[in-house]
Amino acid sequence: MKILIIGGHGTIGKKVVARLSQNHQVIIGGRASGDLTVDITSSSSILAMFEKTGKIDSIICTAGTGYYGPFYGMTEDHIMPGINGKLLGQINLVLLGKDYLNPEGSITLTTGIAAVHPARNGAAVAMINGAINSFVLAASQELKNDQRINAVSPGLVEDSKDRYGAFFPGYNLVPMEKLVNAYILSVEGSVNGKILKVYS
C-alpha cells in the first residue's frame, strides 16, 4: 500500500513509520521535515500535499497537540491553536483527503485518553479529542467506495512520559508496540468507525 503519514517524525509517528515501512510504501508529511512539507492549519497546504501524493491507500495523522493549563485563566487565545491544528487540521485531512483515497482505503486520526478521562489542566485537549472522536463516528457512516475511518486514542505512552507525565499522575504507561498495533489494525484490518483505545 501507498501510505501517507502526517507527523511521521514525531514521538508516535516515527514508531508507526518504522513498522509500516517494513511492508508498505510510506510517505511522510511534516511541518518542518519529511518527504513533503505541510501545515495542517492551512487547507491550501493540505490540498497542495495531496496534489503531490496523488492517489493513496491510507492516510494517517499523528500530528497536533493542544493547550494544557489552568481552567481559570484559560482564554480563546490558548484554545485556538489546538482547534486550528489538531482538530480542524485532522478534519480537513479527511474532507480533502477522501478525494485522493483509493477505494477500500483508510484514514486514521489520533485523539487521546483526555476525551474520556480528562486530566487536570486539560479541558482544551479533552474538548479537541472528544470532537475528533465524534467526527470519526459520524464520518464513518458516510464515506463511499468502502473507504474507512478510525481514530487511535492513546493513553500516556512510554516515550512521552517525560513530556506529559506530570499532567497524568497515576496513569499506566502504554507500551509503544501496543500503541503501534492499533494503527496497524486501522490500516491493515477491516474496522471502521472505531475509536481504538489504548490506555494501558
User: Over the stretch 176-200, which tens digit does the pLDDT of each residue have?
Assistant: 999 999 999 999 999 999 999 999 8
- Whether residue 94 contacts residue 87, with contact meaning beta carbons closer than 8 Å, is answered with no
Query: Residue 136: what pLDDT?
Result: 98
| Residue 65: band (very low, low, confident or very high) from pLDDT cuts 50, 70, 90 | confident
Decide which of 2 and 170 is more confident. Answer: 2
- We report the CATH number of the domain holding residue 49 as 3.40.50.720
Hey, how many other C-beta atoms are within 10 angstroms of the C-beta on 116?
15
Cell of 132: 475528533
What is the overall mean pLDDT for the chain? 96
Hey, how many other C-beta atoms are within 10 angstroms of the C-beta on 77?
8
Range of the domain at 136: 2-198
User: Over the stretch 19-33, which tens digit does the pLDDT of each residue have?
Assistant: 999 999 999 999 998
Query: Residue 169: what pLDDT?
Result: 84
CA-based max dimension of the chain: 48
User: Over the stretch 76-113, which tens digit does the pLDDT of each residue have?
Assistant: 999 999 999 999 999 999 999 999 999 999 999 999 99
Quick check: 160 pLDDT over 90? no
Query: CA-CA distances (angstroms) from residue 75 to 36, 71, 80, 85, 117?
Result: 33, 9, 9, 17, 22
Count how many domains the chain has. 1
| Residue 170: band (very low, low, confident or very high) from pLDDT cuts 50, 70, 90 | confident
Those residues whose C-beta lies under 8 Å from the C-beta of residue 154, and which sit 6 or more positions away, are: 12, 110, 112, 113, 174, 179, 182, 198, 199
